[in-house]
């Protein structure tokens, strides 16, 4: 059962990921990306990381993708049609993407060293453990990510603001 779900989610994820790359309109890309993201969320659930799945959906689908859509709408990019790169480059892009895939897959051996932990103690995805870890072991990164956001916020405001209206 779950295996089938896995396959289904994977197929959809890959297909819609491809559509992200290949659709002409940016809006469609965004929508396909959202589909992919949902599929990934599904995988998280399969992996017993429900909290992660929830956060994932909220952050990505709820925030990031909305941001994308917002920008597209704001700049009125819906009508912008795809301008293709030169054919040679496009072929090169696809080929190198493919080769990268092959190379990575081919070289990703040695998974046997990954210990398959006890099947019973599947507690890793629980909120309790997550929270405990995040606020104790990962306190510093956690705080630092606030700096990160502060940076992004200050920066985004500074850059995206239109200067014309501001006269000191």
Partner 1 sequence: MRYLISLIPVLPLAGFLILAFVGKRLNKVSAGVIACGTVFSAFILSLIVFMNANGNPTFENGMTITLFDWISVGSFRATFSFLIDPLSLVFLLVITGVGFLIHLYSVGYMKEDEGYNRYFSYLNLFIFFMTLLVLGNNFLLMFVGWEGVGFCSYLLIGFWFKNSAYNDAAVKAFVMNRIGDLGFLLGIILIFITFGSIEYASVFAQAGQMQPGGFVIIAITLLLFLGAIGKSAQIPLYTWLPDAMAGPTPVSALIHAATMVTAGIYMIARTNILYTMAPLTLQIIAGIGIATALLGATIGLVQNDIKKVLAYSTVSQLGLMFLALGVGAYNAAVFHVVTHAFFKALLFLGAGSVIHALHGEQDIRRMGGLRKLMPVTWLAFLIASIAISGIPPFAGFFSKDEILMHVYASNPMLWVLAVLCSVLTAFYVFRLFFLTFSGEYRGDPATIGHLHKTPMSMSGPLIVLAVLSAVGGLIGIPELFSGGNLLGQFLSPVFGQSALHLHLPALSHEVEYVLIGISVVVALLAVLFAMYLYAYRKEVSVTESSALRPVHNFVYHKYYVDELYQTLITKPLQWLGDKTYRILELKVVDGVVEWIGRFVVMCGKSLRLIQNGESGIYLLAMVVAIIVLIVTANF
Partner 2 sequence: MDNLAQTMQGIPLEYYLWLSVILFSIGVMGVLLRRNIIIVFMCIELMLNSVNLLLAAFGAYRDDTNGQVFVFFVMAVSAAEVAVGLAILVMIYRNTKSVDIDELSKLKW
Partner 3 sequence: MNTLIVLVSLGVIALLSELLNFKKVLFPITCAGLVVATGLSMYDWNSNAYVYNRMLYIDNFAIVMTSLICGLSVLWFCFSKKYLERDTYTTDKFALILFALTGAAVMVSYNNFCMLFLGVEILSLSMYILAGSDKKSLAGNEAALKYFIIGSFATGFLLLGIALIYGVTGTFHLDTMMMYIQAHQTDLPQLFKVGILLILVAMAFKASVVPFHYWAPDVYTGSPTLVTAFMATVVKTVAIVALFRLFVIGFGDAYDVWLTPVIIMSMLTMLVGNLIATYQNQVKRMLAYSSIAHAGYLLIAIVAMNQYSTGAVFYYTMTYSIASLLAFGIVYLLKDNIESVGVEEFNGLSKRSPFLAFGMTVAMLSLAGIPPIAGFFAKYFLFSAALKEEYYALVIVAIIASLIGIYYYFKVIIAIYFKESKEAQVAEVNTTNKALIGLCIILLIGLSVIPEVFLRLRF
Q: Give the residues lining the site for partner 1 (CB under 8 A).
A: 85, 89, 92-93, 96-97, 99-100, 103-104, 106-107
To partner 1, the closest distance from the beta carbon of 80 in angstroms equals 18
Q: Which of residues 95-114 bind partner 3 (CB under 8 A)?
A: 104, 107-114
| H-run or E-run covering 47 | none
To partner 3, the closest distance from the beta carbon of 105 in angstroms equals 11
How far is it, in rounded angstroms, from Cα 30 to Cα 72?
10
To partner 3, the closest distance from the beta carbon of 139 in angstroms equals 7
* Tokens encoding 111: 């998974």
Q: Which of 8, 18, 73, 139 binds partner 2 (CB under 8 A)?
A: 18
Residue owning tokens 């819609």: 16
How far is it, in rounded angstroms, from Cα 164 to Cα 168?
11
Q: For partner 1, give the closer residue by CB, 59 or 93.
A: 93
Q: For partner 2, give the closer residue by CB, 121 or 168.
A: 121
C-beta separation of 123 from 47 below 8 A: no
How far is it, in rounded angstroms, from Cα 165 to Cα 51?
44
C-beta separation of 23 from 29 below 8 A: yes
Closest CA to 56 of 45, 68, 41: 41
Kindly report the CA angle at 116 between 115 and 121, in degrees rounded to 5? 120
Q: Which of 79, 87, 88, 116 binds partner 2 (CB under 8 A)?
A: 116
* Tokens encoding 6: 């896995």
Question: Pick from partner 3, partner 2, partner 1, none: which does 147 bind, CB < 5 to 8 A by kind?
Answer: partner 3
Asked if residue 57 binds partner 2 (CB under 8 A), the reply is no
Q: Which of 79, 87, 88, 105 binds partner 2 (CB under 8 A)?
A: 105
Question: Which residues lie near partner 3 (CB under 8 A)?
Answer: 104, 107-115, 136-141, 144-145, 147-148, 150-152, 154-159, 163, 166, 168
């Amino acid at each position: 059962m779950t295996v089938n779900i896995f396959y289904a989610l994977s197929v959809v994820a890959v297909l819609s990921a491809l559509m992200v790359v290949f659709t002409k309109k940016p809006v469609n890309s965004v929508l396909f990306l959202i589909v992919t993201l949902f599929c990934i969320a599904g995988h998280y659930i399969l992996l017993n990381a429900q909290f992660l799945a929830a956060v994932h959906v909220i952050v990505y689908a709820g925030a990031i993708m909305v941001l994308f859509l917002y920008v597209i709408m704001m700049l009125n990019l819906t009508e912008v049609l795809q301008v293709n790169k030169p054919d040679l480059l496009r072929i090169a892009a696809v080929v190198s993407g493919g080769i990268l895939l092959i190379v990575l897959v081919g070289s990703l051996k040695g998974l046997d060293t990954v210990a398959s932990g006890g099947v019973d103690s599947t507690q890793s995805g629980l909120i309790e453990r997550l929270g405990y870890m995040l606020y104790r072991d990962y306190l510093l990164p956690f705080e630092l990510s606030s700096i990160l956001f502060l940076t992004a916020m200050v920066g985004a405001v500074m850059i995206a603001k239109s200067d014309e209206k501001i006269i000191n």
